[in-house]
């Protein structure tokens, strides 16, 4: 049969989505765990807090008698701020903290130490066998360090007042140090401001000399440029070059227009029909071509008339023909003259335009040079004005700096001088005790949580389940017994709390374990139950015999086998003979029926003790005979409980686990460690053992982390039958002389196995 998987074990459980409810539960759990830690470590916390109270009382009783003297000064903004270089001076928000820092500065405190000769004052540094020079680095550091500790400087809120206090072992010395500090501070303030003003004046004087030379140089350069530009204090832009440039611009425009007209006339005449030159001549220039053409027309008319009446050789005809030829020649000459005149006019206009443009370009170059000279003039003029303005400003500030030296001394005013106090200043003893107790209480809490985090022991169910990943089957309380009725009980009654006190918390815990085991295996109740632990002395035997007892109380047959063949103790608990047992059956010396022993108090319970200790226990337990024995017992008994050795000591439990239906790990409260339990769990899991869960043994019911588990036992019917009234203790002393063994530990550690 296989064990039922524990689906809700901490190792495998999935964390649900975060919500307000789960966050609240987590917070409550964290607070409850913190409270449990505080309650479990309350003795440590109380002890640490008590030490703090004792130390506080000692501090309050032995505190030194110190005298505190105080004075007050006023630090005003100063009337010189309206004349201060750079405006209103330093702001009020940073002025007072700056002055406080100056009052606590090493240089000022060293000045106080020199004036008061504090290095050789027995009331300040204590008596010295020799003279101490305050300029010695070691002495200076001691004196200044002591003054830094003794003097306190603070600004009175919402005022310009500064409070100065000094605490020493002598009343008059405290007052003298405060007054001396105020005097040295006033002197230092006046001297530092005077020196600063003097340095500023010296610097300004040197700067003024340089600026004066620069102003003179700039002014000379500007005058030279004025001469070069031809101006005498007038506007440098109004000069002859500018006027000439304007005239040339107008002339260049007129020449260009004349050239265009002449060129147009020439091009028109050169391309025109000669027959209409007289018309063009009338348009562009005067000519007599028209009259010549008229005369030519008249002669041609006469010639036509004479040719009709006269012969071709008539003298008149010859004369008219000669006149016509002369007129044609004169017309041709006149036409040529008109074209030549137009061409010459065009060339003259073009030459005039070229010369005018050349003169204009030359004048422009002169104007460009003038522009560059004007730019240089402007720059020199600006430089001159800037140097002159700076010179005038620095000269004015130099005069202001000279006035400030006589105004700064009125900014610091003593208000209350320091007087020797009438009595010492002591801290309230109650306050010292409360503060030290509170501080040590916090330290105790931190120490408690630190020890809790470093503790590897397993003390709570949640911690065990988280570390092992296995469910918790039951919590077995730690019980105590009295010896008043020890003689009236049998050995089995003394060692079985479930038998002697059936209504106790101890018995109820085993009934809860029985219920958990019977419901832990799917398909039916587990028949073979193996109990083991990681290390010795965790209470396996105690849990085994009491579990067998409560199983037998169900009126079923139960067999308990002591499978610890190395240190057997079951026969001691029941008061039985241990000479014949499991090893005897496995070796075949006796039969199973002969080796089984019974207990009169529990008729349904049979016991198979370990028998003689064999030389090789592991080989015997892993033999086929052992498996056959278990199979035979399965047919005879309803439940078989086996007590086995620790897992980390030997491998016997791992061998026996393969034949078990349920394997239970016993963990002793406050003794088992996390590492050992993890190692033991891993051994069982790797071997394929049906690990059912863990049992936390020897739990202290008064422990705060388990109060909630057993609070219900106050219900009527259980309170009177508690552990104390039952008079039983799980840690058996085994004083029965008939059950003693020859090796150590049997009579003193009955439940340690």
Number of domains comprising the chain: 3
Q: Looking at 52-56, 350-354, 362-366, 694-698, which range is the least confident one?
A: 362-366
Does one domain contain both 517 and 592?
yes
Nearest-CA neighbor of 126 among 155, 146, 103?
Answer: 146
Looking only at the bridges linking them, the beta strands covering 67-75 and 161-168 are: antiparallel
DSSP one-letter string for 270-312: HTS-GGGHHHHHHHHS--SHHHHHHHHHHHHHHHHHHHHHS-T
Residue 306, pLDDT > 50, answer yes
Residue 711, pLDDT > 60, answer no
pLDDT for 462-473, tens place per residue? Answer: 677 777 778 888
Question: Whole-angstrom Cα distance, residue 544 to residue 608?
Answer: 13
Question: Whole-angstrom Cα distance, residue 504 to residue 468?
Answer: 29
pLDDT for 311-367, tens place per residue? Answer: 677 777 778 778 878 777 777 777 777 777 777 777 777 777 787 777 777 767 776
Cβ–Cβ under 8 Å, residues 401 and 85: yes
Residue 190, pLDDT > 90, answer no
Question: Whole-angstrom Cα distance, residue 60 to residue 78?
Answer: 46
Q: Strands across the sheet with 662-668, in order?
A: 472-477, 691-699, 662-668, 528-533, 639-643, 558-562, 602-608, 597-599
pLDDT for 569-592, tens place per residue? Answer: 999 888 898 899 999 999 999 999
What pLDDT does 604 receive? 92
Residue 522, pLDDT > 90, answer no
Higher model confidence: residue 706 or residue 362?
362
- In this prediction, residue 546 has a pLDDT band, given cuts at 50, 70 and 90, of very high
In a domain, 513, yes or no: yes
Does one domain contain both 467 and 613?
yes
Does one domain contain both 548 and 697?
yes
Which domain does 283 fall in, by range? Answer: 240-404
- SS3 (DSSP) at 746: coil
Q: Which two tokens stand for residue 348?
A: 């003259």
The count of other CB atoms within 10 Å of the CB of residue 572 is: 25
- In this prediction, residue 707 has a pLDDT band, given cuts at 50, 70 and 90, of low
Residue 504, pLDDT > 50, answer yes
What pLDDT does 219 receive? 66
Query: What beta strand segments (E) does 385-435 contain?
Result: 412-416
Does one domain contain both 354 and 431?
no
Give the distance from CA 162 to its chain's centroid. Answer: 38
What pLDDT does 719 receive? 37
What pLDDT does 212 receive? 66
Does one domain contain both 395 and 476?
no
- SS3 (DSSP) at 167: strand
Residue 426, pLDDT > 60, answer yes
In a domain, 232, yes or no: no
Q: What percentage of the chain has pLDDT greater than the value 70?
A: 69
In a domain, 154, yes or no: no
Q: Which two tokens stand for residue 169?
A: 């072992």
Cβ–Cβ under 8 Å, residues 265 and 346: yes
Residue 279, pLDDT > 80, answer no
In a domain, 26, yes or no: yes
- In this prediction, residue 543 has a pLDDT band, given cuts at 50, 70 and 90, of very high
Most confident of 9-13, 522-526, 726-730: 522-526
What pLDDT does 472 receive? 83
- In this prediction, residue 722 has a pLDDT band, given cuts at 50, 70 and 90, of very low
If you average pLDDT over residues 153-179, what whole number do you get?
A: 89
Nearest-CA neighbor of 112 among 407, 408, 418, 411?
Answer: 418
Residue 408, pLDDT > 70, answer no
Ramachandran category for residue 682: left, alpha or beta (phi over 0 → left; psi -120 to 50 → alpha) = alpha
Residue 697, pLDDT > 80, answer yes
What pLDDT does 432 receive? 84
Ramachandran category for residue 65: left, alpha or beta (phi over 0 → left; psi -120 to 50 → alpha) = beta
Residue 484, pLDDT > 70, answer no
DSSP one-letter string for 593-652: HHH-EEETTEEEEEEE---SPPS-HHHHHTSHHHHHHHHHHHHH-SEEEEE---TTT-SH
Q: What does residue 474 show for φ and ψ, rounded to 5 degrees? A: -170, 165
Higher model confidence: residue 495 or residue 453?
495
In a domain, 89, yes or no: no
Distances 163 to 36, 168, 414, 710 between C-alpha atoms, Å:
50, 17, 10, 64
What pLDDT does 74 receive? 86
The count of other CB atoms within 10 Å of the CB of residue 375 is: 10
Residue 7, pLDDT > 50, answer no
- In this prediction, residue 196 has a pLDDT band, given cuts at 50, 70 and 90, of confident
Residue 20, pLDDT > 80, answer no
In a domain, 532, yes or no: yes
Q: Give first-to-last CA distance, the chain, whole Å.
A: 28
Residue 1, pLDDT > 60, answer no
What pLDDT does 17 receive? 39
Residue 43, pLDDT > 80, answer yes
Distances 442 to 34, 62, 271, 435 between C-alpha atoms, Å:
14, 24, 123, 11
Residue 262, pLDDT > 50, answer yes
Does one domain contain both 364 and 509?
no
- In this prediction, residue 410 has a pLDDT band, given cuts at 50, 70 and 90, of very low
What does the chain come to in residues?
753
Does one domain contain both 582 and 713?
yes
Is the entire prediction scored with pTM above 0.85? no
Does one domain contain both 499 and 450?
no
Distances 585 to 253, 317, 589, 595, 658 between C-alpha atoms, Å:
146, 190, 6, 7, 20
Question: Whole-angstrom Cα distance, residue 486 to residue 729?
Answer: 11
Nearest-CA neighbor of 278 among 325, 334, 329?
Answer: 334
Q: What is the CATH number of the domain that holds 604?
A: 3.40.50.300
Residue 713, pLDDT > 70, answer no
Question: Whole-angstrom Cα distance, residue 119 to residue 109?
Answer: 12
Does one domain contain both 445 and 383?
no
Cβ–Cβ under 8 Å, residues 564 and 610: yes
Higher model confidence: residue 310 or residue 47?
47
Q: Looking at 114-128, 262-276, 294-308, 385-399, which range is the least confident one?
A: 262-276
Does one domain contain both 465 and 513?
yes
pLDDT for 65-111, tens place per residue? Answer: 788 888 998 887 655 444 444 444 444 456 788 888 888 888 888 88
- In this prediction, residue 596 has a pLDDT band, given cuts at 50, 70 and 90, of very high
Q: Looking at 50-54, 512-516, 640-644, 647-651, which range is the least confident one?
A: 647-651
Residue 630, pLDDT > 90, answer yes
Please write down the HEC assignment for all residues of 173-231.
HHHHHHHHHHHHHHHHHHHHHHHHHHHHHHHHHHHHHHHHHHHHHHHHHHHHHHHHHCC
In a domain, 124, yes or no: no
Give the distance from CA 593 to its chain's centroid. Answer: 76
In a domain, 685, yes or no: yes
Cβ–Cβ under 8 Å, residues 376 and 250: no
If you average pLDDT over residues 734-745, what whole number do you get?
A: 35
Residue for token digits 């587990």? Answer: 526
Residue 168, pLDDT > 50, answer yes
Q: Looking at 9-23, 289-303, 504-518, 635-649, which range is the least confident one?
A: 9-23
Q: Which two tokens stand for residue 570?
A: 């079951």
Does one domain contain both 449 and 377?
no
Give the distance from CA 400 to its chain's centroid. Answer: 51
Question: Whole-angstrom Cα distance, residue 369 to residue 157?
Answer: 71
Residue 392, pLDDT > 90, answer no
Q: Which helix (H) or strand (E) holds 75?
A: strand 67-75
Cβ–Cβ under 8 Å, residues 503 and 725: no
What pLDDT does 662 receive? 93
Residue 397, pLDDT > 80, answer no
% helix, strand, coil for the chain, step of 5 = 60, 10, 30
Looking only at the bridges linking them, the beta strands covering 691-699 and 662-668 are: parallel
What pLDDT does 712 receive? 40
CB-based contacts of 622: which residues, under 8 Å, 6+ apart?
655
Does one domain contain both 724 and 598?
yes
- In this prediction, residue 642 has a pLDDT band, given cuts at 50, 70 and 90, of very high
Q: What is the mean pLDDT of the chain?
A: 75
């Amino acid at each position: 049969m296989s064990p039922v998987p524990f689906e809700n074990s901490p190792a495998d459980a999935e964390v649900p989505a975060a919500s307000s409810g789960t966050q609240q539960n987590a917070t409550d759990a964290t607070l409850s765990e913190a409270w449990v830690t505080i309650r479990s470590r309350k003795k440590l916390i109380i002890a640490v807090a008590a030490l703090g109270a004792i130390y506080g009382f000692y501090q309050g009783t032995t505190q030194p008698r110190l005298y505190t003297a105080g004075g007050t000064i006023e630090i005003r903004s100063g009337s010189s701020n309206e004349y201060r270089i750079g405006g209103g001076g330093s702001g009020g928000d940073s002025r007072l903290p700056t002055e406080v820092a100056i009052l606590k500065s090493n240089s000022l405190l060293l000045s106080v130490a020199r004036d008061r000769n504090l290095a050789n004052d027995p009331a300040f540094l204590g008596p010295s066998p020799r003279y101490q020079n305050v300029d010695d680095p070691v002495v200076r550091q001691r004196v200044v360090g002591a003054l830094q500790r003794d003097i306190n400087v603070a600004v009175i809120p919402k005022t310009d007042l500064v409070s100065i206090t000094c605490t020493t072992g002598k009343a008059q010395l405290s007052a003298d140090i405060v007054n001396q500090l105020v005097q040295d501070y006033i002197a230092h303030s006046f001297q530092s401001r005077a020196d600063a003003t003097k340095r500023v004046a010296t610097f300004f004087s040197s700067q003024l000399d340089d600026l004066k030379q620069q102003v003179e140089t700039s002014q000379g350069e500007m005058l030279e440029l004025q001469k070069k530009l031809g101006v005498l204090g007038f506007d440098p832009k109004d000069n002859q070059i500018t006027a000439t440039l304007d005239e040339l611009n107008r002339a260049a425009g007129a020449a260009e227009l004349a050239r265009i007209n002449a060129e147009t006339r020439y091009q028109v005449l050169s391309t025109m029909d000669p027959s209409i030159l007289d018309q063009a001549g009338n348009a562009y220039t005067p000519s007599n071509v028209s009259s010549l053409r008229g005369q030519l027309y008249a002669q041609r008319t006469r010639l036509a008339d004479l040719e009709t009446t006269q012969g071709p050789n008539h003298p008149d005809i010859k004369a008219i023909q000669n006149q016509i030829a002369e007129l044609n020649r004169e017309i041709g000459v006149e036409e040529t003259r008109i074209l030549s005149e137009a061409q010459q006019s065009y060339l003259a206009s073009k030459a005039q335009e070229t010369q005018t443009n050349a003169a204009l370009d030359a004048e422009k170059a002169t104007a460009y040079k003038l522009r560059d000279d004007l730019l240089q003039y402007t720059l020199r003029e600006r430089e001159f004005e800037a140097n002159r303005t700076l010179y005038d400003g620095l000269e004015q500030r130099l005069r202001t700096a000279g006035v400030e030296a006589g105004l700064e001394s009125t900014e610091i005013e003593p208000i209350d001088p320091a007087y020797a106090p009438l009595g010492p200043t002591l801290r309230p003893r109650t306050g010292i005790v409360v503060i030290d107790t509170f501080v040590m209480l916090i330290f105790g809490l931190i120490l408690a949580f630190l020890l809790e985090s470093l503790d590897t022991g397993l003390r709570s169910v949640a911690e065990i389940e988280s570390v092992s990943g296995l469910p918790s089957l039951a919590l077995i309380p730690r019980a105590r017994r009295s010896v008043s009725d020890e003689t009236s009980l049998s050995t089995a009654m003394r060692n079985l709390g479930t038998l002697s006190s059936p209504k106790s918390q101890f018995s109820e815990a085993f009934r809860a374990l029985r219920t958990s085991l019977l419901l832990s295996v799917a398909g039916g109740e587990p028949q073979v139950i193996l109990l083991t632990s990681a290390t010795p002395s965790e209470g396996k035997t105690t849990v085994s015999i009491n579990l067998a007892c409560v199983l037998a109380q169900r009126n079923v047959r139960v067999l308990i086998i002591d499978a610890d063949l190395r240190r057997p103790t079951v026969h001691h608990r029941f008061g039985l003979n241990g000479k014949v047992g499991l090893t005897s059956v496995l070796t075949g010396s006796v039969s199973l029926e002969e080796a089984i022993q019974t207990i009169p108090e529990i008729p349904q319970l049979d016991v198979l003790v370990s028998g003689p200790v064999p030389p090789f226990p592991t080989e015997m337990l892993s033999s086929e005979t052992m498996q056959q024995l278990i199979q035979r017992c399965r047919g005879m008994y309803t439940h078989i409980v086996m007590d086995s050795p620790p897992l980390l000591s030997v491998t016997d439990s791992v061998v026996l686990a393969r034949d078990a239906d349920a394997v239970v790990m016993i963990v002793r409260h406050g003794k088992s460690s996390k590492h050992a339990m993890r190692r033991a769990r891993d051994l069982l899991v790797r071997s394929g053992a049906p690990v059912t869960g863990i049992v936390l043994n020897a739990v202290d019911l008064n422990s705060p982390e388990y109060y909630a588990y057993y609070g219900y036992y106050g219900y009527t019917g259980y309170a009177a039958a508690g552990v104390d009234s039952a008079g039983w203790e799980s840690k058996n002393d085994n004083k029965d002389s008939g059950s003693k063994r020859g090796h150590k530990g049997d009579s003193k550690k009955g439940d340690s196995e």
